[in-house]
Amino acid sequence: MIPRIAEEKARHLLGGFPCVAIIGPRQVGKTTLAKSILHLYDDPVYLDLELKKDFIKLEDPETFLGQYGEKLVVIDEVQRKKDLFPVFRALIDQNRIPARFLLLGSASPELLRNSSETLAGRIAYLELTPFLVPEVIPAYEMNLLWLRGGYPFPFLNESYWLDWMNSFVKTYVERDLPNLGFTADSIMGERLWTMLAHLHGNLVNYAELGKSLDISIHTVKKYMSFLESAFLIRTILPYHSNIRKRLVKSSKVYIRDSGLMHFLLGIESMDQLLGNPKLGSSWEGFVIEQIIPMLPSNCHHYFYRTHDGAELDLVLVKSNQPVAGIEIKFGSDPRPSRGNTEAVLTLKTKNNFILINREDDYTLSSGFTVCGLITFLNKYLPLIFSSHE
């Protein structure tokens, strides 16, 4: 088993919170992570709500769960029974000790109906992502992770990659998203997902999407909200402050897992990826998905773009102040564009980086540091936030 960075965080949270929820897309390794933690507790209870026998046990959840007041109870696929959350609250308030419940779910807190309000102050959420670069390097090449994506099974089993991805997409649009309240039929869901793969790294134009799919702007936004809440896409907001410039207000959209994005675009090999027009935006999305999970909880992320051409792919903001500007480039020329330079002059970021697809590490006369992703994650990202404590 590949050790997960999130495991240490999960153990830490269970040491202080009565309820911890590990959330993330299906098949990302939540169950495996939970089972790696269970040996730390005496006689834990494990329920999988996709199993009928376990689902039936919770027909009277207060009685069943009440008998395990001193044990850790793990409930997998908790989004299948959202009415459990008021029961969790009552039982926790009767006996508030750490590690009462460990919940595993394939939906965001917003889709776990009322859970944030019901368990406010009692629950901590931890998102488990697909594999991250620090988890698989040096055992595997980074470009392999980029091509196949980070879902454990297809990443580790090359011969089943395409079959797994096909099954994953079909299962999500035919079963999992509808179970979360997604009202589009499977054909519409897959069409939207594929169209968003073609838009990967671009600004979202809801009107054009709606016209292409023959649905309203409101419906497009609703469907995309579900995909985002299921951890399948990410939208990034533009950064704006009291700056007297005409700023772009549209969000950018990314398919969160690079392997899934490649599958939706019909890219099956590194050679095909290197010759595809989406190469640069694919690399951009991959890098962003490696950085965001490593950010401290009090750091926010945006992109920056103005109508006169100033732009940065990622702006890291802490205490309402931009602390780092990041431009992501795949090509052979790592120099910042005029738009990049104008952006950092306006934002006054002291830490500015060009992230490239090789492990260089040097500083340009413009003040930008050129480095590879691994160097950035291991060396520079910790420095950025240690200097802003």
Q: What is the pLDDT of residues 4-28, one digit of tens each?
A: 999 999 999 999 999 999 999 999 9
Asked whether residue 188 is assigned to any structural domain, the reply reads: yes
Query: Does position 307 have pLDDT exceeding 90, yes or no?
Result: no
Q: What is the pLDDT of residue 83?
A: 87
Q: Are 17 and 68 part of one and the same domain?
A: yes
Exposure letters 80-102 (e unless 16+ CB within 10 A, then b)? bbbebbebbbebbeeeeeebbbb
CATH of the domain at 140: 1.10.10.10
Q: What is the pLDDT of residues 84-138, one digit of tens each?
A: 999 999 999 999 999 999 999 988 777 676 566 788 889 999 999 999 999 999 9
Angstrom distance (rounded) from CA 209 to CA 195: 8
Query: Does position 242 have pLDDT exceeding 70, yes or no?
Result: no
Asked whether residue 264 is assigned to any structural domain, the reply reads: yes
Q: What is the pLDDT of residue 388?
A: 53
Q: Are 139 and 234 part of one and the same domain?
A: yes
Q: What is the pLDDT of residue 202?
A: 96
Query: Does position 389 have pLDDT exceeding 80, yes or no?
Result: no
Q: Are 352 and 380 part of one and the same domain?
A: yes
Instruction: Choose between 208 and 242: higher pLDDT.
Output: 208
Q: Are 108 and 207 part of one and the same domain?
A: no
Q: Are 269 and 139 part of one and the same domain?
A: yes
Q: What is the pLDDT of residue 116?
A: 63
Q: Are 22 and 69 part of one and the same domain?
A: yes
Nearest to 37 by CA among 65, 67, 1: 1
Nearest to 223 by CA among 257, 256, 192: 192
Q: Are 41 and 97 part of one and the same domain?
A: yes
Asked whether residue 286 is assigned to any structural domain, the reply reads: no
Q: What is the pLDDT of residues 325-355, one digit of tens each?
A: 999 999 889 999 999 999 999 999 999 999 9
Asked whether residue 283 is assigned to any structural domain, the reply reads: no
Angstrom distance (rounded) from CA 141 to CA 145: 7
Asked whether residue 328 is assigned to any structural domain, the reply reads: yes
CATH of the domain at 113: 3.40.50.300
Confidence of residue 1 (pLDDT cuts 50, 70, 90): confident
Q: What is the pLDDT of residue 150?
A: 97
Query: Does position 313 have pLDDT exceeding 60, yes or no?
Result: yes
What region, left, alpha or beta, does residue 388 occupy, with left being phi > 0 and alpha being psi -120 to 50 degrees?
A: alpha
Q: What is the pLDDT of residue 216?
A: 94
Laid out side by side, the sheet with 202-203 consists of 202-203, 252-255, 233-236
Query: Does position 78 have pLDDT exceeding 80, yes or no?
Result: yes
Q: Are 93 and 119 part of one and the same domain?
A: yes
Question: Kind of pairing, strands 311-318 and 252-255?
Answer: unpaired
Confidence of residue 368 (pLDDT cuts 50, 70, 90): very high
Domain enclosing residue 161, as ranges: 132-273
* Mean of per-residue pLDDT scores for the chain: 92
Q: Are 265 and 159 part of one and the same domain?
A: yes
Angstrom distance (rounded) from CA 380 to CA 386: 10
Q: How many other C-beta atoms are found inside a 10 Å radius of the C-beta of residue 233?
A: 25
Q: What is the pLDDT of residue 246?
A: 67
**What share of the chain in percent tops pLDDT 90?**
80
Asked whether residue 13 is assigned to any structural domain, the reply reads: yes
Task: Report how far Cα 314 is from the mean position of its chain's Cα atoms.
Answer: 15
Which of 273, 304, 332 is the C-terminal boundary of a domain? 273
Q: Are 150 and 114 part of one and the same domain?
A: no
Q: Are 51 and 74 part of one and the same domain?
A: yes
Asked whether residue 287 is assigned to any structural domain, the reply reads: no
Query: Does position 74 have pLDDT exceeding 80, yes or no?
Result: yes
**What share of the chain in percent tops pLDDT 70?**
96
Q: What is the pLDDT of residue 11?
A: 96
Into how many domains does the chain fold?
3
Angstrom distance (rounded) from CA 127 to CA 10: 10
Mean pLDDT in residue range 48-58 = 95
Local structure of 384: helix, strand or coil: helix
Which of 92, 109, 127 is the C-terminal boundary of a domain? 127
Which of 110, 127, 144 is the C-terminal boundary of a domain? 127
Q: What is the pLDDT of residue 233?
A: 96
Confidence of residue 291 (pLDDT cuts 50, 70, 90): very high
- The secondary structure element, H or E, covering residue 362 is strand 361-363
Q: Are 237 and 137 part of one and the same domain?
A: yes
Asked whether residue 81 is assigned to any structural domain, the reply reads: yes
